[in-house]
């Protein structure tokens, strides 16, 4: 018996059954029987046209030749290569109508974000910064002239935009920002510092948020990336979304014309809508990262032999993968629900915040399991799950999850105010200040 077993092990030693599965990040070579979208019958929730659109986007993402691993290690992004891929995916602007923009439904936006983040979260993030944070803000808050001047060039990716709100000393409490805008003849002088600005090193258009020194309100300015008075440096040593180039930007008497000031004063009305949309996109991004991590993990486990069997033959591994698949189902269906509510124009911030808090936490737990089932290779970039594991951490970045939980508390507890003050008065007071700031957005 022992002899037979030894013989079987040694005869397998040089066969593919005992070799390490090939690492192919970002490509996913999955056996069709494990295709999660089919297994979960998500395609049945989509119309014929939506399924066709999804297949088209997946095929484009799968055909990428971008070397994400080399770029992940060196933490650089090749803007030209990214632009080529953006163009293949269609015109920019997601759901924006006019100016050559894509005019997608929210379900189509979900499918697009699902696939770009399934491919690679850094790629997806750069895609979103331009198409949503930058373009959406100009569309929602810009004048007709600004729409024509910027959106047309941005929808064709001739010009790439970024969004500069956060400062070194002002993070979550963004409404207290310190960058100033001083009126001078013909325009404004911007002075201050911004931090974490995705794409800030290379962007053609930077949307800068600054305090109008006359009104003391926050205004947005469309600043050309090559304007004088801007100095930029890259934030080094990030553990996640390494390919995305985050920048520190310093504005020293940077002149911007009056025509380049956005219309809205402070974070109200349309700005709230823009930020609501960007939160929904984080929910969609969670689906994409988790789909990629699950499919890479199950693909690895079906090809990895231990004890003369594939890893997927063991019930302990099956149980872990099943837990991830269940989580994936709930995250994808939540995303689809939000997308459909947005299409029907019945979504509000409470639902989106609930979805964001749930999906980001579920993603975080699930990618850890994906990493675990890949053993040692689960911590090597080449197999992809390690990248998803690290990138999932940044899904909290747009808004801190604790504030979302407070907003959600309003849905769950009709008498939320009473409960709030009776139970955790001291803790709540601090938070409440932040929430009121946050709700102003």
Ligand X SMILES: Cc1cc2nc3c(=O)[nH]c(=O)nc-3n(C[C@H](O)[C@H](O)[C@H](O)COP(=O)(O)OP(=O)(O)OC[C@H]3O[C@@H](n4cnc5c(N)ncnc54)[C@H](O)[C@@H]3O)c2cc1C
Residues that bind ligand X (CB under 6 A): 129, 163-166, 171-172, 196-198, 241, 246, 394, 397, 400, 402, 430-431, 434
Please state the closest distance from residue 53 (CB atom) to ligand X, in A. Answer: 27
Residue 23: partners with Cβ closer than 8 Å, 6 or more residues away: 377, 380, 382, 383, 384
Please state the closest distance from residue 305 (CB atom) to ligand X, in A. Answer: 38
The 10 Å Cβ neighbour count of residue 193 is 18
Asked if 397 and 238 touch (Cβ cutoff 8 Å), the reply is no
Return the number of the residue (397 or 409) whose C-beta is nearest ligand X. 397
Return the number of the residue (135 or 324) whose C-beta is nearest ligand X. 135
Q: At 148, is the secondary structure helix, strand, or coil? A: helix
Following CA atoms 109, 112, 115, 116 in sequence, which dihedral angle do they give, to the nearest 10 degrees?
-100
Please state the closest distance from residue 176 (CB atom) to ligand X, in A. Answer: 11
- Taken in order 261, 263, 266, 270, is the CA torsion positive or negative? negative
Please state the closest distance from residue 164 (CB atom) to ligand X, in A. Answer: 5
| Beta bridge partners of residue 255, listed in sequence order | 189
Please state the closest distance from residue 211 (CB atom) to ligand X, in A. Answer: 15
Return the number of the residue (96 or 134) whose C-beta is nearest ligand X. 134
Return the number of the residue (222 or 394) whose C-beta is nearest ligand X. 394
Return the number of the residue (18 or 172) whose C-beta is nearest ligand X. 172
Asked if 123 and 82 touch (Cβ cutoff 8 Å), the reply is yes
Distance from chain centroid for Cα 26: 17
Please state the closest distance from residue 306 (CB atom) to ligand X, in A. Answer: 36
Q: Where are the beta strands (DSSP E) in 285-346?
A: 305-306, 309-310
Asked if 141 and 150 touch (Cβ cutoff 8 Å), the reply is no
Return the number of the residue (118 or 130) whose C-beta is nearest ligand X. 130
Tokens 């920019």, located at residue = 92
DSSP state of 150: I
- What φ, ψ does residue 191 adopt, rounded to 5°? -140, 130
Asked if 287 and 355 touch (Cβ cutoff 8 Å), the reply is no
As a whole number of angstroms, the distance between CA 26 and CA 329 comes to 22
Return the number of the residue (207 or 338) whose C-beta is nearest ligand X. 207
Please state the closest distance from residue 139 (CB atom) to ligand X, in A. Answer: 18
Please state the closest distance from residue 235 (CB atom) to ligand X, in A. Answer: 9
Please state the closest distance from residue 238 (CB atom) to ligand X, in A. Answer: 7
As a whole number of angstroms, the distance between CA 282 and CA 381 comes to 23
As a whole number of angstroms, the distance between CA 390 and CA 378 comes to 11
Return the number of the residue (8 or 74) whose C-beta is nearest ligand X. 74
The residue nearest ligand X at its CB is 171
The 10 Å Cβ neighbour count of residue 192 is 22
Q: Which of 189, 185, 229 is nearest to 213 (CA)?
A: 189
- What φ, ψ does residue 183 adopt, rounded to 5°? -70, 130
Return the number of the residue (129 or 293) whose C-beta is nearest ligand X. 129
């Amino acid at each position: 018996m022992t002899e037979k077993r030894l013989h079987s092990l040694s005869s397998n030693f040089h066969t593919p059954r005992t070799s390490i599965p090939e690492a192919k990040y970002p490509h996913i070579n999955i056996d069709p029987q494990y295709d999660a979208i089919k297994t979960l019958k998500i395609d049945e929730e989509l119309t014929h046209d939506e399924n066709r659109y999804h297949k088209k986007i997946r095929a484009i993402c799968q055909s990428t030749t971008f070397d994400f691993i080399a770029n992940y290690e060196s933490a650089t992004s090749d803007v030209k290569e990214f632009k080529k891929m953006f163009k293949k995916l269609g015109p920019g602007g997601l759901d924006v109508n006019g100016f050559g923009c894509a005019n997608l439904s929210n379900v189509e936006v979900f499918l697009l974000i699902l696939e770009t983040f399934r491919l690679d979260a850094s790629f997806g993030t750069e895609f979103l910064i331009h198409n949503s944070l930058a373009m959406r803000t100009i569309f929602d808050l810009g004048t007709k002239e600004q729409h024509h001047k910027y959106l047309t060039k941005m929808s064709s990716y001739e010009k790439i935009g970024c969004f500069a709100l956060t400062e070194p000393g002002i993070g979550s409490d963004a409404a207290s920002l310190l960058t100033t805008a001083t009126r001078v003849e013909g325009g404004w002088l911007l002075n201050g510092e911004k931090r974490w600005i995705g794409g800030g090193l290379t962007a053609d258009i930077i949307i800068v948020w600054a305090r109008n020194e006359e009104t003391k309100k926050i205004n947005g300015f469309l600043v050309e990336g090559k304007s004088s008075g801007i100095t930029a440096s890259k934030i080094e040593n990030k553990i996640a979304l390494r390919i995305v180039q985050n920048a520190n930007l310093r504005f020293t008497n940077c002149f911007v014309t009056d025509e380049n000031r956005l219309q809205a004063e402070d974070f109200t009305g349309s700005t709230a809508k823009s930020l609501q949309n960007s939160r929904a996109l984080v929910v969609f991004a969670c689906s994409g990262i988790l789909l990629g991590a699950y499919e890479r993990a199950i693909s690895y486990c079906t090809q990895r032999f231990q004890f003369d069997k594939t890893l997927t033959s063991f019930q302990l591994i099956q149980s872990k993968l099943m837990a991830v698949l269940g989580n994936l189902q709930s995250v994808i269906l939540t995303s689809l629900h939000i997308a459909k509510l947005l299409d029907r124009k019945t979504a509000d911030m409470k639902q989106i915040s609930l979805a964001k808090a749930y999906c980001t936490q579920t993603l975080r737990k699930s990618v850890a399991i994906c990493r675990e089932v890949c053993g040692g290779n689960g911590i090597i970039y080449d197999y992809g799950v390690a990248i998803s594991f690290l990138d999932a951490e940044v899904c909290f970045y747009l808004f801190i999850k604790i504030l979302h939980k407070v907003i959600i508390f309003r849905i769950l507890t009709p008498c939320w105010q009473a409960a709030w003050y009776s139970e955790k008065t001291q803790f709540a007071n601090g938070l409440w200040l932040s929430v009121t700031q946050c709700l102003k957005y």
